[in-house]
Amino acid sequence: MTNTILSVDQLTQVVSIGQSDQTTTLLKNISFTVQKGELVSIVGPSGSGKSTLLYCISGITRPTGGTVAIAGINPYQLKSNQLAAFRRQTIGFIFQQYNLIQSLPVFENVVLQQRLSHQQPQRAEIKQLLTKMNFAGQIDGPVATLSGGEQQKVAIARTILTDCDVLFADEPTGALDSASKAIIFTYFKGRL
């Protein structure tokens, strides 16, 4: 039995530049594996392709070449409904721009993925998690009134509750204060 949870082989991403026939290579022949329980950081300057790599290896953006296997499954070989179910059950993704639904209150944003997976959210569990994260907003209040840091905590809480096998995070604590960063990274290290 293998402990490999993510396998990337010769991943390449080439994109067109504007309306011209010119292309640029964003990712070139990237290969690596990630074992269960391993914490991996992708480090590089702004514009170096970190987000592009995360999107390609998480099943969000189809790469131009190479293969990706998450928990032994190539997400790009799944039908759209299978891929949606696979993402809900296996993959967690914390987006840099939060990806919250502004018309829903905090609680509904946190439990959204649980509801889509036909799970019954436990309000006490949600409140306890948000308290541990030093969330200062109202659980039934609109997310639009929250600061960037508080919105990021909502996005992180939503992903934590999915109990996923693989968690991808695109600069997950960029809007949080330093005290929150320690809590979040400790939790992720234990969950991966």
What does the domain layout of the chain look like in residue ranges?
1-77, 80-192
What dotted CATH number matches 80-192? 3.40.50.300
Tell me: pLDDT of 56 over 90.
Answer: yes
Any residues with CB less than 8 A from the CB of 38 and at least 6 apart, and which?
Answer: 5, 192
Q: Which of 115, 9, 12, 117 is nearest to 70 (CA)?
A: 9
CATH number of 1-77: 3.40.50.300
Proportion of the chain above pLDDT 70, given as a percent: 89
Query: 63-83 pLDDT, tens per residue?
Result: 999 999 999 999 999 999 999
Give pLDDT, residue 1.
Answer: 54
**Stated pTM of the model:** 0.76
